[in-house]
Amino acid sequence: MIVVDTNIISYFYLEGEYTKLAEKAFKKDPDWAAPLLWISEFRNVLALYIRKKILTIEDAIRIVGEAESFMNGKEYAVNSSSILELVNQSECTSYDCEFVALAHDLGAPLVTVDKKVLSHFPSTAVPLVQFVG
């Protein structure tokens, strides 16, 4: 099992710089987990794509449905005090710290491309490139 942040989920469903690596990560370990927050962040990514005319509303609705189905049962609530402790130890947002806290709770690595998270939590966060080898 790996914890993935919204960036990885987004690259898995939307063509981008790290799409091929996100697909390799899935092949290496398809047991993905994320905090419940992921879906709100993912919807925000889709909203941006809709507004920039990169996706139609119909495509965005289809993609979010696929992503929700895939992540169903792999979403977790995270303890607020754990998140705030991580915020206090870093310069990361509480949003980012939700993913780190979940990785701690599950004893799993957090696979990400987020430089700040990688910098502040090197014992938990693993660069996508390194994870896929």
CA distance 74 to 90: 26
pLDDT, position 75: 98
Neighbouring C-beta atoms of residue 32, cutoff 10 Å: 21
Going by C-alpha positions, the residue among 42, 21, 18, 58 that lies closest to residue 95 is: 42
91 CB-side CA count, 13 A: 6
The pTM of the full predicted model, rounded to 2 decimals, is 0.96
Phi, psi of 107 (to 5 degrees): 65, 35
Residues 6+ apart with CB under 8 A from 61: none
The pLDDT value recorded for residue 131 is: 98
Q: Which CATH superfamily is domain 2-132 in?
A: 5'-nuclease (3.40.50.1010)
User: What's the confidence (pLDDT) of residue 33?
Assistant: 98
Mean pLDDT by 10 residues, the chain (133 residues): 98 97 98 98 98 98 98 98 98 98 98 98 98 97
Enter the tokens of residue 22. Answer: 């996100």
Distance, in Å, from the CA atom of 70 to the CA atom of 50, rounded to the nearest integer, reads: 22
Instruction: For the chain, give every domain's residue range.
Output: 2-132
53: left (phi over 0), alpha (psi -120 to 50) or beta: left
